[in-house]
Amino acid sequence: MEVIARNGDTLSYYSRLFMIPLQLLADSNQQSAKDALKKGDCIHIPGFQAETLQLKTGDALWKIAGSRNISVDCLLLLNQNKNINELQTGDEMIAPKRIMERLVNARKKYDSQSLQNDLEILKENYPFIQINTLGKSVLGNEIQEIRIGRGSKKVHMNGSFHANEWITSAILMSYVNDFLLAITNGGKINNIDTLPIYRNVDLSLVPMVNPDGVDLVLNGPPEHMRSKVIAINEGSTDFTGWKANINGVDLNNQFPAFWEIEKERKEPKTPAPRDYPGDAPLTEPEAVIMAQLANQEKFNRMIAFHTQGKEFYWGYENFEPSESALIANEFSRLSGYKAVQNVDSHAGYKDWFIQEFRQPGFTLELGKGINPLPLSQFDDIYKDVLGIFVASLYL
């Protein structure tokens, strides 16, 4: 929601007026909390939407304000272009509406357009977040990052490295929306206060690493790629088993962590729906983007969301720091998922992250069954893994 500043207005006053943390107001408007406002400045108020009301018989400013738990001055601020004391029954006025429910409906087949739509909605209503375009996929889809928080501890999460694991993007976006709701409303998640997390943590999320692959699984191939991907898929037009990017390269086998071992032992020696590690490490733009992000940001912790198995992997070749075991124990306690230190696998993003940075890295295998997991598992996955999402930020 936007308001137009009046003479004497300050962000501190707006913080009290709308009961929104001052830091969120400052970050939403990219200025210091102490900066003076000028008359006519357009100021973003996070966590609110402007709603048009048609006045009914008996309506009064104090009644409208009371029903919304706001000050009368909120109404005066939003209706500066009206002589509000002369409004009559049937006239329209603007009132602020605090956002108390999710704006993201991710419990659906969640493709790259769904993600784009939700990112725009969240940015509009929670302008203290950042949406960064990191680069583009093979087909030119933007690979986007959400940044939340102003702390020194850098935590990264990602989803949909694998195309038919698209439900991970939907789960991540639901967590993001609920986190933003809690921050703006002074709420908690899993009994943990969220505003201190915002102040202490810099959270990076790439909800959909492989947008081309996700769209292929959910929507079928684009016409100009149709013959190529059907050939890679051994003549089948059923893409539900497709994990790779649109080039037929498994993005989670693309990283320089003993990549040669995976190249030698993986059965596909040419592009395939799954498991083909490419002709060399980091040949695919999506993998390059993720490596560049980690190299640039030097995250303190990384969590990759995959499916399925109700377990997670937290070690790699003994490169992981000692704190990884403590975190893994807590993740397991909170979720009921099995903690597995080592698996016979290389060249994954988690493997490379641990090897390269010697920081805690985790691959979560959400749910259980056959990929792609059905949406009927969405609620159970959300509930089981919510504790891991929050603990990743406060531990």
The counts of H helices and E strands in the chain are: 14, 14
Given a contact cutoff of 8 angstroms between Cβ atoms, the answer to whether 142 and 205 are in contact is no
- Dihedral angle of Cα 239, 242, 246, 249, to the nearest 10 degrees: -150
Measure the CA dihedral 382/384/388/394, to 10°.
Answer: 80
- CA–CA separation, 168 and 364 (whole Å): 10
Look up residue 105 and give its amino acid.
N
How many Å apart are CA 350 and CA 327, to the nearest integer?
15
Dist. CA 107–CA 124, nearest whole Å: 21
Q: Which residues pair with 92 in a beta bridge?
A: 54
142 is catalytic: no
φ and ψ of 24, to 5 deg: -65, -40
Contact criterion met (CB below 8 Å) for 258 and 347? yes
- The alpha-helical segments, DSSP class H, found in 188-343 are 195-200, 211-219, 226-232, 259-265, 285-297, 323-335
Backbone angles phi, psi at 315, to 5 degrees: -120, 165
The separation between the first and the last C-alpha atoms of the chain, rounded to the nearest angstrom, is: 33
Considering the candidates 165, 284, 320, 365, report the single residue annotated as catalytic: 365
Residue spans of beta strands (DSSP E) within the chain: 2-4, 42-44, 48-54, 92-98, 130-136, 142-148, 153-159, 188-189, 192-193, 201-206, 301-307, 311-313, 338-340, 361-366
Active site residues: 365
